[in-house]
């Protein structure tokens, strides 16, 4: 395996072990609110510092952007590791067994490497630009479905920032009536990995953060899918508004989104 991916896998597994060890003592954890419907525990923090320790030892000149510890390292660093040590904290706190560790690597601002690890199912998704996307070392591909009929889509609800709830619900309503089903599983990084693996035909969510999506973007692109903002443009790493599927289905989903975009969604700050 690519040496950088190898180290990232080691870091993700170490974080996964911390998550697993904490699962049966969730009720003893100190839960600190970060914002509306947003919580952090010592497990998130420990997992992140373990990941950064491992990566920093191997790559002392690389920078880091972690959900819990923010930015570290030289501002002009070419390589930046983008880390969500525990994606699905609300699931974790409720014993809902669907969480992951997400580690992406940006090279000059572009997502290049990806590790998404589900420690409960022991599923390891890895991807490297030009090298394909894998699940437990087997190649994965997005689905070939060309329309909404029969599609299983993933999404996330705007449960923290309520600004776009009405627009979101209008999109949801339309998708719901035309598809086979919509899942809100509670871990955006795993949702993206599932699109790459062909378990979901497509996915959309508003207002995600870089650590939710950097790794998933690489997986999907390497699995033959496209990732854009809701209007089919770049800039999704900054806005966090994401629409992804195989190219044909993506076009169909984009047409649905288009009808419900507000001015604020068209021109995110
Ligand atoms: C959250 C999950 C969730 C998504 C939220 C994210 P966290 O991440 O990915 O599915 O809807 O927007 O913030 O807080 O569990 O790391
Ligand atoms: Ca997250
Ligand atoms: Ca998190």
Q: Are 104 and 81 in contact (CB under 8 A)?
A: yes
pLDDT value for 159: 78
> Does ligand 1 come within 6 angstroms of the Cβ of 88?
yes
Closest ligand to the CA of 86 = 3
Q: How far does the centroid of ligand 3 lie from the alpha carbon of residue 59, in Å?
A: 23
pLDDT value for 46: 94
Closest ligand to the CA of 41 = 3
Q: How far does the centroid of ligand 1 lie from the alpha carbon of residue 87, in Å?
A: 6
Token pair for 112: 């290049």
Closest ligand 1 atom number to CA of residue 212: 9
Mean pLDDT by 10 residues, the chain (269 residues): 94 97 80 69 93 97 96 92 96 94 97 98 98 98 97 92 90 94 98 98 97 98 98 95 98 95 84
pLDDT value for 32: 75
Length of the chain: 269
Token pair for 210: 């870089």
**Given ligand 1 and candidates 168, 188, 209, which is best to mutate, with the most ligand atoms within 8 Å of its CB?**
188
Protein residue closest via CA to atom 16 of ligand 1: 87
pLDDT value for 264: 87
pLDDT value for 25: 80
Domain positions in the chain are 3-139, 152-266
Closest ligand 1 atom number to CA of residue 185: 10
Strands 79-87 and 100-107: what pairing? antiparallel
Q: What is the CATH code for 3-139?
A: 3.30.540.10
Q: How far does the centroid of ligand 2 lie from the alpha carbon of residue 187, in Å?
A: 7
Token pair for 240: 């966090």
Q: CA-CA distances (angstroms) from residue 143 to 25, 192, 197, 204, 221?
A: 38, 13, 8, 16, 13
Q: 152 — phi, psi (to 5°)?
A: -110, 115
Closest ligand 1 atom number to CA of residue 39: 14
- The reply to whether the predicted model has a pTM over 0.85 is yes
pLDDT value for 210: 98
> Does ligand 1 come within 6 angstroms of the Cβ of 101?
no
Q: Which of 53, 58, 120, 127 is nearest to 92 (CA)?
A: 120
> Does ligand 1 come within 6 angstroms of the Cβ of 156?
yes
pLDDT value for 39: 66
Token pair for 75: 């501002």
Closest ligand 1 atom number to CA of residue 157: 11
pLDDT value for 37: 61
Closest ligand 1 atom number to CA of residue 184: 10
For 152-266, which CATH class? alpha beta
Q: How far does the centroid of ligand 2 lie from the alpha carbon of residue 120, in Å?
A: 17
> Rounded CA gap, 30 and 32, in Å?
6
Q: How far does the centroid of ligand 2 lie from the alpha carbon of residue 168, in Å?
A: 19
> Does ligand 1 come within 6 angstroms of the Cβ of 216?
no
> Does ligand 1 come within 6 angstroms of the Cβ of 188?
yes
């Amino acid at each position: 395996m690519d040496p950088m991916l190898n180290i990232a896998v080691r870091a993700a597994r170490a974080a996964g072990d911390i998550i697993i060890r904490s699962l049966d003592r969730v009720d003893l954890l100190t839960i600190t609110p970060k914002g509306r419907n947003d919580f952090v525990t010592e497990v998130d923090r420990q997992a992140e510092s373990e990941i950064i320790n491992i990566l920093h030892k191997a790559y002392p000149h690389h920078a880091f952007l972690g959900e819990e510890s923010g930015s570290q390292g030289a501002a002009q660093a070419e390589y930046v590791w983008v880390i969500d040590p525990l994606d699905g904290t609300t699931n974790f706190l409720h014993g809902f067994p669907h969480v992951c560790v997400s580690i992406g690597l940006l090279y000059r601002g572009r997502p290049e490497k990806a590790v998404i690890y589900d420690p409960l199912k022991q599923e390891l998704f890895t991807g490297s630009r030009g090298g394909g996307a894998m699940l437990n070392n087997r190649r994965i591909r997005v689905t070939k479905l060309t329309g909404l009929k029969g599609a299983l889509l993933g999404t996330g609800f705007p449960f923290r920032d309520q600004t776009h709830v009405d627009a979101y619900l209008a999109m949801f309503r339309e998708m719901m009536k035309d598809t086979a089903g919509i899942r809100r599983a509670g871990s955006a990084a795993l949702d993206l990995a599932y699109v790459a693996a062909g378990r979901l035909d497509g996915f959309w969510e508003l207002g995600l953060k870089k650590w939710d999506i950097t790794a998933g973007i690489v997986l999907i692109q390497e699995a033959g899918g496209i990732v854009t903002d809701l209007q089919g443009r770049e800039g999704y790493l900054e806005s966090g508004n994401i629409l992804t599927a195989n190219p044909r289905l993506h076009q169909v989903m984009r047409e649905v989104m288009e009808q419900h975009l507000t001015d604020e969604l068209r021109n995110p700050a």
